[in-house]
A and B are shown apart, each in its own frame.
Chain A
Amino acid sequence: MRRLLTGNEAVARGVWEAGAGYAAAYPGTPSTEILENIAMYDKKDITAEWAPNEKVAVESSLGASMAGIRSFVSMKCVGVNASADPWMCMSYSGCNAGMVIAVADEPGQQSSGQTAQDNRTFFKFAKYPFFEPSDSQEAKDMVKEAFRISEASDTAVAVRLTTRVCHSKTIVELEDRQEYEPRNYERNPAKYVPVPGHSPALLEKVMSKADRLREYSENTPFNREEIYDTKIGIICSGVSYCYAKEVFGENASYLKIGFLNPIPMNKIRAFAQKVDKLYIIEETDPIIEDEVRLAGIPCHGKDVLPKTGELLPDVLREKILGVEIPKVDVDRGKILPRPPMLCSGCPHRGFFYELGKLKNVMVSSDIGCYTLAWGEPFHTGDAGICMGSSLSVGHGFKKGMDKKNGNTKVVSVLGDSTFLHTGVQSLMTAVYNNSDTVNVILDNRITAMTGQQENPSSGLTAQGDAAVETDIPALCRALGVKHIVTVNPNDLPAVRTALKEALAREGEGPSVIITRWPCVLKKLSQADKEEFPSLYADKYDIDKDKCIGCKQCLKVGCPAITFNSETKTAEINDDCKGCTVCCQVCPKQAMYIKEARA
């Protein structure tokens, strides 16, 4: 059956068709939908889990593989950084049943940002063979082949995706699930315990594996030539192959590299001899190119192509063919920016409105929807480096301030899911090494930024089963935090008081403020409905006779509020969710309930 699938859906299908029985991931754009789709298959076939972070996901998956079940992990590009520890040692140990790790890089940094790191560099460093699909069909085929190679070579195998492969839909031929006979588990510390007595031998084994994989790399149909016109030869990988074919068609010949590490150098040498001029097109780093140059084969690559961003057809046309990009003559002043913003009814709004009013405070932020509060209109977010970093950067900042007798206070903010990802240890250092920081956990009862995934404190598993909830206040108490307060973030006086009291404390160590209110997009559970009975109850409007046009309500940055420049009054549109934050900032109490919840 032919279906149009995104690369992410195709990877999930490939995992299922390969007979895998265990998958784990932490959500991250553009990889999130892989595990979401795996979770839709029958639980009897495959267990799909949200792990608290990528390190845990990789380790759990290794455990499942050791037990004899084919296992899978997916993550976004920076997830590799968070899980580098098991990656490195696992390349020595290898695995038992096939293990595949899909990593979704983001060369254009379109939606997630953070970094444009090319994880192929990491795979080489950590000694992993990897596949690089160019479309959804290949994504599925390569995942299945990766499981086979994993078992044949006793190593986990990586699959490198990029945003365009993850989020493009292309045609895929579906196949049935292969029944997989689980492998036996045999105790083998010499393989899985890398002490000095074992490690050198394990490294030797890794090197001999590489020799065998070199032969595979030379012979696999995933590294294939397409010979047309030979004036231009193009070596390309991943979606760059599609872009090159779009631009050059049959006016060039291609060597498409779908499997790497080791590189098929004999194949490359043979191809180079058939063409007059050789280009290497790959996103982002010159991984193939460096090796080709080292082998003494003349080629062009990053000398003509950009070193950052995507190598879209327009880029190839301009840089290789010298074709000028057409620009239309229109008044671009009419194109106003449309930055992403907190949704109407977002429970972060009230908190950041109050936080933004404070002076002489360094706001150490983190990765989540609340990162958006760095900009207009709140301007709360001095830093947001990586998952869980807020509390530790805030801790160090306060220590630095203390050292130089500075008086800037610190408020560190992160979400429930980010706290559980890697924020717990950061709070631990704030307690253990004793900093007077205010640590805020924005608990919106879900992993929101990536599109509503469950987490250890949300009460459900990835496959919809009831789960024990991590009790965040109890966890903070157990770490040794003395002052913990939970507030409703839509209650501005309560937020104000909590911040004021926490900032006034000196010499009592870190305090924690938990704002507890569900994400406005969350599909509410029965427990949510019981805990938050007044949730998003009413729709509001503004009494035009009372409104004095002071624009105070616009400062909460809500998509439901606009200013009518003709009547000089603010207006609330149908998008209102009834959070009441604007009602609390209006000096004239001009808001009224337009539509009460039945």
Chain B
Amino acid sequence: MTKSVLLVGVGGQGTITASKLLTLGLLESGYDVKMNEIHGMSQRGGSVSSDVRYNDTGKVHSPVISLGGADILVSFEEMEALRWCDYVKPEGAIIVSTERIAGLPIMTGRMEYPEGIVDELKKVAKTVLAIDGPAEAEKIGNSRVTNVILLGVIVKYMGLENIDWHKIIRENIKPAFIDLNIKAFELGKTLLDR
């Protein structure tokens, strides 16, 4: 059966790195994998998304996730979770890092960052987990590992612990940051139980 993981955020937040590690792990386990990303203007502060789809027994057809088709939506930014919420299955999960990144209308002072987003998300999916990603990351020493914390959450929720993720991290992360990222990954795995 094909499973779908949707990662969203704002350009520069590391969504691509997280989805890359995820796909590499899935590939090594012999699953069929497809990943799609829209990143045309991502470096210029736009909304970015990355669809990861995998199947342990058969083939993945569409690289794009359908509306109401994601088992899990992982958002690296608060408002982006709401922008993409139509894609989550009602029985699925939304993991949102509550980091707020102002878009142009907010920066110019024309609009204010909306409140109450997490409450809106609770209307959408059975499981909603809001975490302060950068703060969690800071606890283990580096705010930039939010993406690997979120990878840990995905692995736990999707039941992918049989894959050797430490090996994937060791092979794809710069040596100086391997231990930090493994710590971040392990932390992510515990967050759903809080």
Contacts and interface: CB of A to CB of B under 8 A. Distances in A.
Interface string A304-342: 000000001110010000000111111111111111111
B108 A557 contact: yes
B108 A554 contact: yes
Contacts of A555: 108
Given A167-B37, A369-B44, A330 B79 contact: no
Contact of A565 (B10, B45, B63, B112): B112
Interface in B96-118: 102-114, 116-117
Interface residues of B, number: 53
Nearest to A165: B63
Contacts, number: 161
B27 A335 contact: no
B85 interface: yes
Interface of B: 10, 23-24, 27, 32-41, 43-47, 60-64, 66-68, 79-80, 82-83, 85-86, 88, 102-114, 116-117, 120-121, 123-124
- By secondary structure, the A interface counts as loop
Contacts of A3: 27
B104 A338 contact: yes
A539 interface: no
B63 A170 contact: yes
Contacts of A561: 107
B64 A110 contact: no
Contact of B117 (A334, A558, A562): A334
Nearest to A570: B109
Most B C-beta atoms less than 10 A away, residue of A3, A171, A551, A561: A171
Contacts of A164: 36, 63-64
A292 interface: no
13 contacts: A170-B63, A242-B61, A312-B66, A328-B86, A330-B120, A333-B114, A336-B114, A337-B104, A338-B47, A338-B83, A343-B43, A372-B44, A557-B108
B67 A314 contact: yes
A377 B46 contact: no
A338 B103 contact: yes
Contacts of B104: 337-339, 341, 376-377, 557
Interface string A348-384: 0000000000000000000001001000110000000
A99 B50 CA distance: 34
A168 interface: yes
Contacts of A163: 38
A10 B126 CA distance: 39
